[in-house]
Chain A
Amino acid sequence: MMHSDIKSRPTYQVLEPDLAGTGHLLVIEGETVLPGRLDSLAGTFAPVEDKLHTWLVGSHAGAQGLGKVWHLPAIADVVDAFACATRGFGIGDRLYVQGTEPFLWSVATAAGIVGFGAGQVRLHHTGSLRRRVWCTHCHGVTDNVTTNFAACSGCGRHLLVRDHFSRRLGAFMGVMIDAEVPGQVPALEEVFP
């Protein structure tokens, strides 16, 4: 369960269709799908099934009742699919995303680039609490961080993972943890399982 005392941290919603929408796109991170979840989503989205597209990412699970289903190998393919969508997206379209936090914001960012506004997007966080970390020193991004600090993939510094989230980057701030005494770091703990 995600919890934060930081008021500006995004909060996530339960997925349900916005009946005001004229087209509906559901993007699901396959690894976060628990048994029975696709059936329950199909039930929830039944009222809009004739206008529903589902992109299932990194999973070959069969999906019934989720409109037109595409299987995409990875998040990079979702980003490409948004960028290359030839029919374009309309102002009445709605986007629903389920997955880990880095996945949610990768999808939301790619959709934002083709025009989706916040009022058209609903995000549902589920699965791992792992974080994408943005280094304040080299501006590199380190993915899949589950520990209280981690080595930066860009500059190698030990980064303390702060509870400070950027919607624009879809990442948490990482600052050098041993700047005063190099090598002096606290015990490594898994805090974002």
Chain B
Amino acid sequence: MIGELLHLQVAAITDLAPGLRHVRLVAADSSRLPPAAAGAHLQLRLEGTTKTFRNAYSLISPPGRRDAYEIIVRRVPASRGGSAFIHEQLNVGDRLEATWPGNLFPPVRIARHHLMIAGGIGITPFLSYLADFAVSRASHALHVCCRESEKDVFAPWLPATGKAAFHWDADGQRLDIPALLAAQPAGTHLYVCGPAAMNEQVIEAAAKAGWPASHVHCEHFGSALSGGEAFRAFLSRSGIEVEVGQDESLLEAIERVGVAAPCLCRGGACGVCATPLLEGEPEHRDHFLSPVERESGRLIMPCVSRAKTGRLVLDL
């Protein structure tokens, strides 16, 4: 299914708040879509004027729904262009290609309690969790840290039972993360999705509170990671030398010259794009390779990682 494409059509666009856009996608031929589980994402192929963007978005439609996929996209000021494209150029009726839904962030079924912490638009994977838990009746709590002005935007997707707590940056409204994490019962699984700094803060606080790493799950978002110094890469099997620009990823550069590289999450998490590295010094930015694999310098994840200096030679 990696590599197989879905043909979708934009059925509706709704602006929820400044910079937050809800998009409803249906199959272009009106057929039923492949079902997706809680926490799944969709990778959209967005044909911009100068380049093609492939961005992954969490599905917020209830798990298993086959009539439509729904996503919420925040416009990122320093966007690589994907979110700007969705906010400025996407119209109802447009056709898009997408991969099949993938899932790198599923809830753990054996958990006795699910604790979710979201930062801003990081709430999106949890909207599908909530729909799932409403059916499974799993014990759960959601804490959302966001702008005060956006706390009511997600209300249509939240359960009436009030298991969601909103926090924002004002005295008495901030989330006390260490206190929250210290008070959790055995059997709890923690999920965090937010900006990198918040993810790190939560993961660190969990370790301090004695959480076993196997109970802590994180989904990274934000693709600002993919840019950096320009460098060159040589694809040894294809015999192509490619220039990787400052604001494109190695994977995007490889795709630009027409070499098909396997990929799934495009965020350094899934491991699908791991490519043998023959020469060069990589700057690893992924969350997939182990410290030993990183040190060996023989694999690279081209969706996020780049060259530390000069030139890389890939077995591709």
Contact = CB atoms under 8 A, between A and B. Distances in A.
B103 to A, nearest CB: 21
A92 B216 CA distance: 12
A94 to B, nearest CB: 8
Given A114-B187, A115-B185, A115-B186, A91 B215 contact: yes
A119 B212 contact: yes
A90 B181 CA distance: 10
Contacts of B207: 20
A132 B207 CA distance: 37
Interface string B135-161: 000000000000000000000000000
A117 B187 contact: yes
A17 to B, nearest CB: 12
A36 interface: no
Contacts of B215: 91, 117, 119
A117 B209 contact: no
B209 A22 contact: yes
B184 interface: yes
Nearest to B208: A20
A147 to B, nearest CB: 36
B182 A92 contact: yes
Interface in B183-212: 183-188, 207, 209-212
Nearest to A114: B186
B214 interface: yes
Contact of B209 (A88, A92, A94, A115): A92
Nearest to A116: B186
B185 A89 contact: yes
A96 to B, nearest CB: 14
Contacts of B112: 115
A89 B112 CA distance: 12
Interface in B88-146: 112
A118 B214 contact: yes
Interface in A1-55: 20-23
Contacts of B185: 88-91, 115
B213 interface: yes
A128 interface: no
Nearest to A94: B210
16 contacts: A22-B210, A89-B185, A91-B184, A91-B185, A91-B215, A92-B209, A92-B210, A93-B186, A115-B112, A115-B187, A117-B187, A117-B212, A118-B214, A119-B212, A119-B215, A120-B186
